Amino acid sequence: METESGVSLAVAVKTAKDDNKEKYEEKKELLLKEILVMCAIAKQKHANVLAIIGAVTVDPAAVSIVMEIAHTDLQTYLEHHKGFTNRFVPVDRNDATSDEENRKTNTYRKEEYVVNNDLNTLDTFELVLFAYQIANGMKHLASIPCVHRDLKLRNVLITKNKTIRIGDFGLARKHKDRNYYTETKGIIPIHAAPETKENYKFTEKSDVWSFGLCLYDLFTLGTKKLSELSESAEDFSTKHKRLTEPQHCRSDLFEFIELCWEFNPVHRPNFITAVYIFKCELGRFSDNTFNEIEAKLKLELEEQKKLEDWVPKKKLYD
């Protein structure tokens, strides 16, 4: 993409494509709705939410333009990453009460952590940092208010400097009521919350359900893929109590994950609580690292705001 001054910016372009005319129209309609949501979100930019730069909505085209992430989604990143550094305090091998299967403690090694932008490294600290950023982005969406409706690691993007951006707003909806949003029909993801499958009800709490699935996938390094499960929500809500605690997750955090899967949405936490939980969790690693994290996210937000200068002064699209 090039501005009137001739300066270029790498962008990603999304279009509706399908040889079948009927399916094409369906995809086009979804993309147009996604563009509307992203335009509404763009009015309140956030470092952990993907920002739209421009769009074409004139028939017969439907095109959205976003800043190129230059890496991949979080699920793919975890699946293909080689090597992991455990930041837990080692288990005392002479401790007969220790968990022989997981061989971990509930304590992180306290040291001076530096926010690492190297995509070739991955450790326990960064898993918690990823979780914090997802919660941070979702907290922002809930404040708009906007329900994502399809939160999973494949819809969470990771940039070349390890900043997390929530993307893919094809099923997202902006609404006026912060507590309740429903439609009579539409697409329901297989990983949806039980109240969503029962009466197509979407709220912040249904996004929290999906967030819990993302957390389990994250702390198992993408090997479980709970956010891509196909079993019914009722079955999963019953079975999740038998899920083993992820090897890279503290017991207290696993209890929080289970709260996200409470069958009654009233009993689930909100994203304000989630941000607080993971902010405190980051503090368990180091006393000063969080300030560095916030400074990095502030710079990311400033870069996103600069995108407003890339939009042409004259109207080139509708």
Name residue 64's beta-bridge partners. Answer: 14, 55
Binding site per annotation, positions for ATP: 154
The answer to whether 95 is a known catalytic residue is no
Residue 19 or 176, more confident: 19
Cis ω before 269 (30° cut-off from 0) = no
CB-based contacts of 32, cutoff 8 Å, min separation 6: 57, 62
Residue 41 or 196, more confident: 196
pLDDT digits (tens, 9 = 90+) for 140-159: 999 988 888 889 999 999 99
171 pLDDT higher than 50: yes
Rg of the chain over Cα atoms, rounded to whole angstroms, equals 20
Q: Which of 18, 73, 150, 309 is catalytic?
A: 150
224 pLDDT higher than 90: no
CB-based contacts of 241, cutoff 8 Å, min separation 6: 258
Mean of pLDDT values over 79-107: 69
Task: Tell me the CA distances in angstroms from 25 to 22, 28, 46, one per residue in order.
Answer: 5, 5, 31
Residue 18 or 236, more confident: 18
Mean of pLDDT values over 205-215: 95
Which range among 38-42, 101-105, 185-189, 195-199 shows the weakest confidence by mean pLDDT? 101-105
26 pLDDT higher than 70: yes
Q: How confident is the model at residue 200 (pLDDT cuts 50, 70, 90)?
A: confident
300 pLDDT higher than 80: yes
Q: What percent of the chain has pLDDT over 70?
A: 71
Chain center to CA of 310: 26
Residue ranges and CATH numbers for the domains of the chain are 11-68+302-310 (no CATH), 72-300 (1.10.510.10)
